[in-house]
Structure 1
Amino acid sequence: MIPDLVHSILAGMPMPVLIVDRTGRVAAMNAPARAMFGPAGPGRHYIAVLRQPALLDCVEEALRLGQVRRARYLTTDIAREATYEVLASPLGEGGADGVTVAFSDITEREQVGQIRRDFVANVSHELKTPLTALLGFIETLKGPARDDAAARDRFLDIMLREATRMSRLISDLLSLSRVEAEERMRPEAQIDLAATLRGTVQALGTLAQAADVALILEGAEQPILVQGDSDQLTQVMENLIENGIKYGGTGGEVRVVVTQSARELAFRGPGVRVDVIDKGEGFDPVHIPRLTERFYRVDNHRSREMGGTGLGLAIVKHIVNRHRGRFRIDSTPGEGSTFSVMLPRITV
C-alpha cells in the first residue's frame, strides 16, 4: 500500500511520476503520468504500461540492482514530438519498496541543441564553398596560370567576389547575433521613419538604376515618428528594398508604400505600415513560413549568384520583433511579392 502522504506528494509534482513496486506492478501514478500512459495503469505490470524497450530496461535494472538508472523516452502526441529524460530511483533500502520513475521534459533543450548543430553545419557549408574556390584559384595562379595574364585577371575577379561573399556572410552573422541579444530590449529613441525611408531609397537609387528598376516611394512626405533604433530600421528597409530590386526587379518596378492608421489592431493604437511591393516572378506561398529561417532560400543557386547570405530576412524578423512590430510576407507566382513591416506609431 502506498501511504496517503506519498500520493499527496505525487499529486503535487508537475512532471509525470509513477511508482513500481517490488512485484513489478504500477502502484501509483500522478495526473501527468496518467495523461501520458492512460488512466488504467495502476495495478498493471510496468511492461504493459511503459512498453518502450529502453525504458523497460531502465526500470528492470533499477529494480534488480537497487541502483539509480537513466534513460530517454520519446513520445509523439497530436501536438508535438517530445523527449523525456527518465530517472528510475530505488525506494527504500536497496529498492526494497520498488522504484519511482520520473519523467523530465527536455524537448526544448534538445531542440536548442539541434538548432545549434544545424546552424554550425550551415555556416560551415556556406563558408566552405567560397574557401574551396579561393584555394583552387590560388593553386592555379601559383602553377599553370602563373604567366597567363588573362586567366589571372579573370581568377582575381572571381576571388574578389567570393571573398566579398564571405565578408558579407560574417557581417550578417555578427549582425544577427547582436540583434538576437538585444531582442528583448525595446529601443527608447524617437525617430522619423519617413526620413529613414527617403534616405534608404536615395541610397539604393544607383542599384535600382543599374538593374533598370523604377524605385518609387509613396506616403513618406510628412514626418512619421516611431520608437526605434535608427540604424536597425535602416537595415530592415535596406534589406527589403534591396531584395525587391534583386529578386523582384524583373517586373521593372519596386514600390515602397507607407500607410498610417489611427488604430492598428495588432498594437491597439496608432500604427504605420511599410509595404515593399515588386512585380517580379513571385514564389509559391508554401515557402512563406520558412523564409525567415536562417539560410533558407527559395532558390539556392540564384540567391548565391545575387550575393545573398540567406540571413537577411532572419535579421529583419528579429529587428521587427525588437520594435514590437509585425512582419508579413505575401506572394503569388507570376504576380510578384509584398513584404510588409508594421510598427507602433507615436502621435503628437
Structure 2
Amino acid sequence: MERIGLIAIMGTLAVICGLALAIASAGDAVVLLAGILVGVGLTLLLTAARRWSRGDLEPEEESAIQPALTPTPGVEDLLGALDEPLLLVEGKMVVRANAAAVAMLGDHMVGEDVRVAVRYPAATELLTREGNTAGSVEIIGIGDPDRHWTLSVQPLGPATRVVRLTDRTATRATERMRVDFVANASHELRTPLASLIGFIETLEDANGPDDAPVRERFLGIMAGEARRMQRLVDDLISLSRIEADKHRAPADAVSLVALARETADTLRGDRSGRSRVELQVEEGLPPVAGDRAQLSQLLHNLVSNALKYGDPVRPVRVVVARGGPTMLRLAVIDEGEGIAPQHLPRLTERFYRVDAGRSRAVGGTGLGLAIVKHIVERHRGRLDIASTQGVGTTITVLLPILLDSKAAAAE
C-alpha cells in the first residue's frame, strides 16, 4: 500500500515537471520529453486512483497519501504562477485558466468551447486538429488591435492540452525598428553617395581650361556631401556606443553648469560674434551622476537644433536649475515656429524629420534627438518635449544628482 502513495507522488511530480518544461521551452525535443513526462504522470495517477477506489489502502494510510492523490491544486498553482495566459483544455472544453488568461479573455471562458474563448481562424484550425498534436500559430488583435501573439498547443495526454499565449508585441516592434533603421540608414547614405558618383563622372569629362568654374562648384558640392556622410556615420557610431552602455548607469561627478557654459561659448550664433545663447543658471548646484562626453553631446545637440530651427534673430535660452530634491533640470528654449502636435511623439525616432528638406539643408542627420533620448535613458533621467506653433519649443531634461556627500558643488 505504501507503493500506491509512491506511485501517486511520482505521478504528481511527473505532471508538474512536464507542464513546466512544456511552458518554458519551445524546442521540439524538450516539448516531446515534456509530453512523455505528463503522459507517464497521468498514467501513474490514474493507477493510484483506481487502487484507492478499490479499497487497497488502510484507513491510517489514507491521510498520509491523500496530498499526493490531489494533483489539481499543484497544477493550478503552477499555472497561476506564470504571467503568460495559459488554458488547460480537455477535448474542446476549457477546464482551467490562469489569472493572466482570465484577465485577457474573461472568466466566462472556463467551461466553454476553446474555439469560443480564442476566436481566431488560424487558431481554430490548430485547436481542432485531429490527433491532439503540438503546434503554434501567429495571431494578432487579442486584447488589443496592435498586439502580436504566438499561440502554441502542447498535448498532455490523449485528450488534454495546454494552450499558451506568448506576447510577441515588443519583439515585433524591435524587429520593425531594426528593419526601418537599416532601410533609413541605407537611404541616407545612398543619397549623398549617388551625388558624389554623379559629380565625379561629370568631372571626368570636364578637364578643359574653360571648365575651372564648373569643377570648383562641383568640388564644393562634393565636399558638402562627403561631410554629410561623415556626420551621419559619426552619429550612427555614437548611437551604437550609447546603446551598448545603456545598462551601465554612469556615476562620475559632472558639472552641468560648466558644460552649459562651454556649450554657450562654443556655439555662437552669428558671424559678428554675438552669442545667441543666453545662459540662466541657479547658483550652488551639485553635480549630476553622468558621463561627461555624452552629456556634452546632449547639450550640443539640443542647442544646435534650437539655433538651426529656432528664430534666426531671437536668442536660445539654456536654463540649469533644481528639478526636485534629487534631480537637476536642463531646459533649452527657442522662439521659433514651433512644432505641430502630431509630430511631437515621433521626434526622438531615428531619421524622423518634421521637414526633411529643411533638415538636410541645415546639415541635420535625423539622429540628434534619438541620441539625446538614449543618453537621457542611460543616465536614468527624463526627457520632455513641449512646443506651441508660433511660440516656440522647450526641451526639458531631468538628470539625477550625484548622491555622494563628498562630491562638491560644481561651478
State the TM-score, normalized to the length of structure 2: 0.73
Q: State whether structure 2 residue 89 is matched by structure 1 residue 20.
A: yes
Distance 1:4 1:86, change over 3 A: farther
Q: CA deviation at 1:170?
A: 1.0
Q: State whether structure 2 residue 200 is matched by structure 1 residue 138.
A: yes
Q: CA deviation at 1:272?
A: 3.2
Partners of 2:159 and 2:285 lie apart in 1 by 75
Moved over 6 A (4+): 210-213, 220-223
Partners of 2:151 and 2:273 lie apart in 1 by 59
Within a 5 Å distance, the mapping from 1:14-93 to structure 2 comes to 14=82, 15-22=84-91, 24-61=92-129, 64-77=130-143, 81-92=146-157
Higher strand share: 1
Distance 1:306 1:210, change over 3 A: farther
Higher helix share: 2
Q: What residue identity is the alignment partner of 2:354?
A: V
1:289 is aligned, of 327, 330, 345, to: 345
Question: Structure 1: which 5+ runs fail to align?
Answer: none
Within a 5 Å distance, the mapping from 1:197-276 to structure 2 comes to 197-205=260-268, 207-209=269-271, 214-219=276-281, 225-259=287-321, 261=322, 264-265=323-324, 268-269=325-326, 271-276=327-332
User: 1:75-129: CA deviations, max 9, x gaps?
Assistant: 2436x7322212222232xxx2243322222222222212211211111121121
Q: CA deviation at 1:211?
A: 9.8
Distance 1:10 1:140, change over 3 A: farther
Distance 1:49 1:279, change over 3 A: closer
Q: Which residue of 2 aligns with 1:326?
A: 382
Q: Which structure has the bigger radius of gyration?
A: 2
Distance 1:210 1:222, change over 3 A: farther
SS of the aligned residue for 1:40 comes to helix
With 298-307 and 318-327 compared, the bigger mean Cα shift is at 318-327
Distance 1:4 1:320, change over 3 A: same
Q: CA deviation at 1:167?
A: 0.9
Distance 1:224 1:153, change over 3 A: farther
SS of the aligned residue for 1:183 comes to coil
Partners of 2:183 and 2:298 lie apart in 1 by 26
1:177 is aligned, of 235, 240, 244, to: 240
Q: CA deviation at 1:198?
A: 1.9
Q: CA deviation at 1:165?
A: 1.0
RMSD between aligned residues: 2.8
1:298 is aligned, of 336, 354, 369, to: 354
Distance 1:243 1:211, change over 3 A: farther
Q: How many residues align?
A: 333
Partners of 1:211 and 1:57 lie apart in 2 by 73
Aligned identity (percent) is 42
* Equivalent pair of 1:82/1:105 in contact (CA under 8 Å): yes
Q: What residue identity is the alignment partner of 1:182?
A: D
Partners of 1:50 and 1:343 lie apart in 2 by 46
With 334-343 and 166-175 compared, the bigger mean Cα shift is at 334-343
Q: State whether structure 2 residue 212 is matched by structure 1 residue 156.
A: no
User: 1:162-205: CA deviations, max 9, x gaps?
Assistant: 11111111111111111122223232222333222222222212
Q: CA deviation at 1:299?
A: 1.1
Q: CA deviation at 1:221?
A: 7.6
Q: Which residue of 1 aligns with 2:257?
A: 194
Distance 1:25 1:342, change over 3 A: closer
State the TM-score, normalized to the length of structure 1: 0.84
SS of the aligned residue for 1:81 comes to coil
Q: What residue identity is the alignment partner of 2:156?
A: L
SS of the aligned residue for 2:128 comes to helix
